[in-house]
Amino acid sequence: MSFLKQLRKARGTDASKKLQRARLIAWRREPSIVKADHPTRLGAAKSVGYKAKQGVVVVRIRVPRGGKKRPMIKKGRRSKRKGVKLVLSKSYKSISEERVARKYPNMEVLNSYLVGKDGRYYWHEVILIDLNHPGILKDKQYSQLVMQTNRVFRGLTSSAKKSRGLRSNKGKGAEKLRPSRNSNMKRRKNLSRK
């Protein structure tokens, strides 16, 4: 049995639950963004494109959970618009990736995965790539990302594509999703004015 299969098999045991609890206690005391020595979940990291080589960095980030509030309403509005709850159009994973990208502007976000959660926080590990590193430029898989600068902020990571509805919606019925809902709406507005 391979090492990764053994890890997957041991995930539900009491020992792994104790280890995860101890990790969360330690992570709560750390700053919100921390550079990790190695991935916490190796199988998950490899499945989203991680390779143990120079130029590839793993960063752990903590994001607060729970409902989000709209900015305070300071003027009158009709009774239907009474809510103060804000429904996010992005996932917590996408928000994590954006925050890490702002912290490390010289690196590009490849992907991310969940490593833990409690009542207050989500923890994700984000895989970053140094696009100027010679090892990355020679790698076939990573060298394609050299042209894709600011992937996170343009919604090109896996979690952002899911939020935009591009992962499963293809063909008939998905005409207004591409290139994005916003640009499609602008195009239709301009057509109606002519």
Residue 1: pLDDT band with limits 50, 70, 90: low
Q: Please say if the pLDDT value at position 61 is more than 80.
A: yes
What is the 3-class SS of 52-106, one letter each residue? CCCCEEEEEEEEECCCEECCCCCCCCCHHHCCCEECCCCCHHHHHHHHHHHHCCC
Please give the mean pLDDT across all residues of the chain: 88
Nearest to 153 by CA among 183, 109, 184: 109
Q: State the CB neighbour count (10 A cutoff) for residue 170.
A: 10
pLDDT at 94: 94
Q: First-to-last CA distance in the chain?
A: 66
Please give the domain boundaries of the chain with CATH numbers for all domains.
Answer: 23-65+85-154 (3.40.1120.10)
Residue range 161-172, pLDDT digits in tens = 888 888 888 888
Instruction: Report the predicted TM-score, pTM, of the whole model to 2 decimal places.
Output: 0.83
- How large is the average pLDDT for residues 79-99? 84
Q: For the segment 134-157, what is each residue's pLDDT rounded down to a tens digit?
A: 999 999 988 888 888 899 999 899
Is it the case that residue 132 has pLDDT exceeding 60? Answer: yes
